[in-house]
Amino acid sequence: MIRAVCPGSFDPVTNGHLDVIERTAGLFDEIIVAVLVNEKKQSLFTVEERMEMLAEVTAHCPNVRVSSFKGLLVDFCQQNDVRAIVKGLRAVTDFDYELQMAQMNRRLSGVDTMFMSASPEYSFIASSLVKEVARGGGDVAHLLPGPVFRRLSERLGPRGGS
């Protein structure tokens, strides 16, 4: 049984994240989508809300479960018998930092990182950009899973709260 982790902030989960999670679920026996608890970073949604949204939009994938972690990802991997970290790569700009983290994580724990190329139709999507556009009143309905779009609209209010 090979278990992989898809880690991230997921504030909130986008269609790009979901694409990577679904494709990863087709390659491994079990996937844990792990939300980083980062008390230093201000987020729009609480960790519990982000986990609820992830659980809702991955409910059709029987081998995916949602969790959260504090501290180092490698410790979470060791505690949960995770053999691979899977990260989506949108563009070459993602690569430098991701490679550095992958090499550090391997040195720390021996866990390997696999990179999944983003589907071209999602390669421009980032949670931060989606929130910025939504706050400005732009239409982000096509960038987010339906339930996530509805929660974002509720949270930001009419015209993104602007």
The catalytic residues are 17, 41, 90, 127
- Is 113 a binder of ligand PNS (CB under 6 A)? no
31/137 with CB nearer ligand PNS: 31
- Is 14 a binder of ligand PNS (CB under 6 A)? no
- Is 105 a binder of ligand PNS (CB under 6 A)? yes
Kindly state the tokens that stand for 17. 């994240």
Q: What is the 3-state secondary structure (H, E, C) of the chain?
A: CCEEEEEECCCCCCHHHHHHHHHHHCCCCEEEEEEECCCCCCCCCCHHHHHHHHHHHCCCCCCEEEEEECCCHHHHHHHCCCCEEEEEECCHHHHHHHHHHHHHHHHHHCCEEEEEECCHHHCCCCHHHHHHHHHCCCCCHHHCCHHHHHHHHHHHCHHHHC
- Is 104 a binder of ligand PNS (CB under 6 A)? yes
Where do we find the tokens 């939504």? Answer: 134
- Is 73 a binder of ligand PNS (CB under 6 A)? yes
CB of 86 to ligand PNS, least distance (A): 11
Stretch that binds ligand PNS, among 2-10, 48-56, 129-137, 152-160 (CB under 6 A): 2-10
Question: x/- site string to ligand PNS, residues 40 to 59, per CB under 6 A?
Answer: --------------------
- Is 101 a binder of ligand PNS (CB under 6 A)? yes
Chain positions contacting ligand PNS, by CB under 6 A: 7-9, 36, 72-73, 101, 104-105
